């Protein structure tokens, strides 16, 4: 018989298949030999008490042959000679999953990607980390797989209303991800494994007749009689299609400017900006698991049966939300700039999350009034300057310009070569420039400075107050062992490209389908993938008058 049951196990009890089978037998009061197998459908960690527990929900097979987990079938059609063709600008998760869905529906996708293929991107990322050289077309944000490929591969989302999360996770498994992502409460693939998965997706698209053009940048739109007929690429070639999906990601500033210059409606969208904070992983383990951060003889640290601990923090400060973002246990801080003279940091983890540090974005919500007030204050400081300061709250690019201005200020404060302005956490709270900085995973290096001279005043003050509040929630979190690195600014798109909720087309321009994180309709890999699929299905319905 098949039996679904929930197990509450010590980490050591959940450490292997034999141990779990034994616990199943104990709970069902049967001989262990009667348990012929099982598979996990849900796994989480409960670390609220002194003893952490592993919660497992399993399907067990008692006195009958065990079965494998059933995965959904994905049937990809030959679209070499398909009747319809759709251009997809961007090969991130929204673009790739839109392409796969179009192929399932019998439509030929043509992907144009400004960056390089996933393997070729590595050389440009190495230059970013080692020499501080930014390739504006190939970096952590631009290239095959999008921003998520080399920045962690977290697959956790709350966006269940936008699509089928299980379908997206099963597609990742089909293309090589570990089945663990199907049942873990916070699934994660790892930067070291994602490139192979993205490559497998590309090979599937190409084998079915889809087309992918790398180092091919959308530079203009071909519009006739209010309809989008195609796109110009690299300022010279033209591609035509039945529809165009814009899946260019949250950092495609030149695309936002192109739309604005062509009087195509876009809107400023509130986002969040702040810093990235890094602690020793052992310290976060000691807080979350209530173990010793530096075990002495006879003391026990996290041990071999628990993963590196993570955290999630949120606080309302002076009417603003301050929250942790993209927390990376056992992770690394990386430069995510997309243009010279700007400094952006992000975080990622390998699949084993075995780095010595834990880092997380810590950001404050920003709206158009905040940006306008900031620029007005800057104008007063630089009243003799001829520099143009933007203060128009109706400007749809206002928040993008605000984001860019802070990144440029951070670059200058770091001293160049992507060295990051930094401060110890307690020093930042006490408005003290750190006399020294702790070891940090950020390879380009850090420069001790006052982050009050880098961040807008309201963000700096809100972070100060939030640090103290977070220290009360997590005893030991507020410490000078932690380093604060500026600036975490690419949390989401500062621009929204509007679309009709019924057709998903742009309200002014027929055949243009804004999609994913860059258009303001997603916030991570899974939600972007779901949005890509949703747009692809809508295009199929409209092309076939369904």
CATH of the domain at 218: 3.50.50.60
pLDDT surpasses 80 at 1: yes
- Whole-number Å distance between alpha carbons of 110 and 93: 15
Is residue 127 located within the same domain as residue 207? yes
Residue 70 lies in a domain: no
Q: What pLDDT is attached to residue 386?
A: 44
- Whole-number Å distance between alpha carbons of 6 and 8: 7
Is residue 169 located within the same domain as residue 208? yes
Distances (CA, A) of 31 to 19, 23, 27, 68, 241: 14, 11, 10, 22, 63
Relative to beta strand 243-246, strand 512-514 is parallel
Residue 220 lies in a domain: yes
Q: What pLDDT is attached to residue 294?
A: 64
Q: What pLDDT is attached to residue 522?
A: 93
Q: What pLDDT is attached to residue 149?
A: 83
- Whole-number Å distance between alpha carbons of 398 and 257: 11
Higher pLDDT, 158 or 401: 401
Is residue 381 located within the same domain as residue 431? yes
pLDDT surpasses 90 at 350: no
What is the CATH number for 54? Answer: 3.30.70
Of 450, 472, 488, which marks where a domain is finished?
488
Q: What is the pLDDT of residues 182-218, one digit of tens each?
A: 999 889 898 889 999 999 999 999 999 999 999 999 9
Q: What pLDDT is attached to residue 403?
A: 98
What residue numbers bound the domain in which 6 lies? 2-62
Query: Per-residue pLDDT averaged across 476-492, rounded?
Result: 97
Token digits for 105? 């529906």
Residue 21 lies in a domain: yes
Count CB-CB contacts under 10 A for residue 22.
Answer: 14
Q: For the whole model, what pTM was predicted? A: 0.94
Give the chain's mean pLDDT.
93
Is residue 404 located within the same domain as residue 516? no
Buried-state track 91-128, b at ≥16 Cβ within 10 A, e below 16? bbbbbbbbbbbbbbbbbbbbbbbbbbbbeebeebbeeb
Is residue 8 located within the same domain as residue 156? no
Residue 258 lies in a domain: yes
Residue 106: closest CA among 137, 75, 152, 67: 75
pLDDT surpasses 70 at 385: no
- Whole-number Å distance between alpha carbons of 514 and 510: 11
Residue 401 · residue 257 · CB < 8 Å:
no
Distances (CA, A) of 368 to 88, 245, 269: 30, 27, 8
- Whole-number Å distance between alpha carbons of 216 and 194: 22
Query: Per-residue pLDDT averaged across 353-379, rounded?
Result: 94
Is residue 279 located within the same domain as residue 357? yes
Residue 142 lies in a domain: yes
Is residue 251 located within the same domain as residue 283? no
Is residue 313 located within the same domain as residue 385? yes
pLDDT surpasses 70 at 158: no
Residue 313: closest CA among 467, 490, 489, 491: 467
Alpha-carbon dihedral sign for residues 197, 203, 208, 214: positive
Spatial neighbors of 78 by CB under 8 A, at least 6 apart, are 208, 209
Grade residue 296 by pLDDT with cuts at 50, 70 and 90: low
Query: Per-residue pLDDT averaged across 431-443, rounded?
Result: 97
Residue 79 lies in a domain: no
Q: What pLDDT is attached to residue 487?
A: 97
Over its C-alpha atoms, the chain yields an Rg (Å, rounded) of 25
Residue 245 lies in a domain: yes
Q: What pLDDT is attached to residue 545?
A: 85
- Whole-number Å distance between alpha carbons of 511 and 519: 15
- Whole-number Å distance between alpha carbons of 357 and 474: 17
Is residue 153 located within the same domain as residue 53? no
Under DSSP, is residue 332 helix (H, G, I), strand (E, B) or coil? Answer: strand
- Please count the structural domains in the chain: 3
Token digits for 340? 């010279």
Residue 73 lies in a domain: no
Question: Alpha carbon 273 to chain centroid distance?
Answer: 15
Is residue 414 located within the same domain as residue 435? yes
- Whole-number Å distance between alpha carbons of 186 and 517: 20
Is residue 422 located within the same domain as residue 304? yes
Grade residue 383 by pLDDT with cuts at 50, 70 and 90: low
Token digits for 237? 């070639």
- Whole-number Å distance between alpha carbons of 277 and 410: 15
Question: Alpha carbon 375 to chain centroid distance?
Answer: 29
Q: What is the pLDDT of residues 506-535, one digit of tens each?
A: 999 999 999 999 999 998 899 999 999 999
- Whole-number Å distance between alpha carbons of 37 and 69: 11
pLDDT surpasses 80 at 161: no
- Whole-number Å distance between alpha carbons of 284 and 302: 10
Is residue 354 located within the same domain as residue 241? no
- Whole-number Å distance between alpha carbons of 334 and 359: 11
Of 488, 504, 531, which marks where a domain is finished?
488
């Amino acid at each position: 018989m098949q039996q679904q049951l929930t197990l509450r196990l010590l980490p050591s009890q959940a450490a292997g298949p034999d141990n779990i089978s034994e616990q199943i037998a104990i709970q069902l009061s049967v001989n262990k030999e009667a348990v012929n197998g099982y598979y996990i459908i849900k796994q989480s960690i409960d670390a609220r008490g002194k003893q952490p527990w592993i919660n497992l929900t399993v399907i067990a097979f008692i006195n009958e042959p065990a079965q494998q987990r059933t995965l959904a079938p994905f049937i990809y059609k030959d679209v070499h000679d398909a009747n319809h063709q759709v251009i997809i600008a961007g090969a991130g998760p929204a673009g790739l999953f839109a392409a796969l869905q179009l192929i399932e529906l019998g439509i030929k996708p043509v992907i144009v990607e400004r960056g390089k293929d996933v393997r070729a991107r590595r050389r440009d990322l190495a230059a970013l980390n080692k020499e501080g050289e930014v390739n504006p077309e190939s970096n952590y944000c631009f290239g095959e797989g999008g921003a998520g490929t080399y920045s962690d591969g977290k697959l956790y989302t709350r966006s269940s209303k936008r699509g089928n999360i299980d379908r997206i996770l099963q597609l990742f498994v089909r293309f090589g991800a570990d089945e663990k992502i199907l049942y873990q409460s916070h699934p994660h693939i790892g930067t070291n494994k994602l490139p192979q998965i993205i490559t497998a997706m590309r090979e599937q698209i190409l084998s079915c007749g889809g087309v992918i053009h790398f180092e091919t940048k959308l530079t203009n739109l071909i519009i006739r009689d209010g309809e989008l007929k195609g796109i110009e690429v690299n300022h010279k070639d033209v591609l035509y299609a039945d529809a165009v999906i814009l899946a260019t990601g949250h950092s495609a500033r030149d695309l936002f400017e192109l739309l604005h210059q062509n009087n195509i409606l876009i809107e400023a969208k509130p986002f969040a900006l702040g810093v990235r904070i890094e602690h020793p992983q052992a310290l976060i383990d000691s807080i979350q698991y209530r173990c010793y951060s530096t075990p002495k003889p006879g003391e026990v640290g996290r041990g071999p049966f628990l993963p590196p601990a993570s955290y999630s923090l949120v606080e309302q400060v002076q009417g603003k939300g301050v929250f942790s973002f993209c927390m990376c246990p056992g992770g690394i801080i990386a430069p995510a700039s997309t243009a010279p003279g700007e400094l952006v940091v992000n975080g990622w983890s390998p699949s084993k999350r075995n780095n010595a540090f834990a880092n997380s974005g810590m950001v404050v919500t920003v709206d158009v009034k905040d940006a306008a007030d900031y620029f007005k204050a800057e104008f007063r400081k630089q009243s003799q300057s001829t520099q143009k300061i933007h203060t128009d709250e109706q400007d749809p690019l206002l928040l993008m310009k605000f984001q860019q201005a802070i990144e440029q200020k951070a670059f200058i404060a770091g001293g160049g070569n992507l060295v990051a302005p930094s401060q110890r956490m307690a020093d930042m709270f006490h408005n003290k420039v750190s006399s020294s900085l702790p070891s940090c995973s950020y390879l380009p290096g850090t420069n001790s400075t006052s982050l009050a001279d880098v961040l807008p005043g309201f963000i700096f003050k809100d972070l100060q107050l939030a640090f103290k509040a977070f220290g009360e929630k997590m005893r030991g979190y507020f410490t000078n062992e932690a380093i604060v690195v500026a600036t975490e600014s690419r949390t989401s798109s500062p621009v929204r490209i509007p679309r009709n909720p019924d057709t998903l087309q742009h309200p002014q321009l027929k055949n243009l389908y804004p999609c994913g994180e860059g258009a303001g309709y997603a916030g991570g890999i899974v939600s972007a993938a779901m949005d890509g699929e949703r747009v692809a299905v809508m295009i199929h319905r409209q092309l076939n008058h369904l």
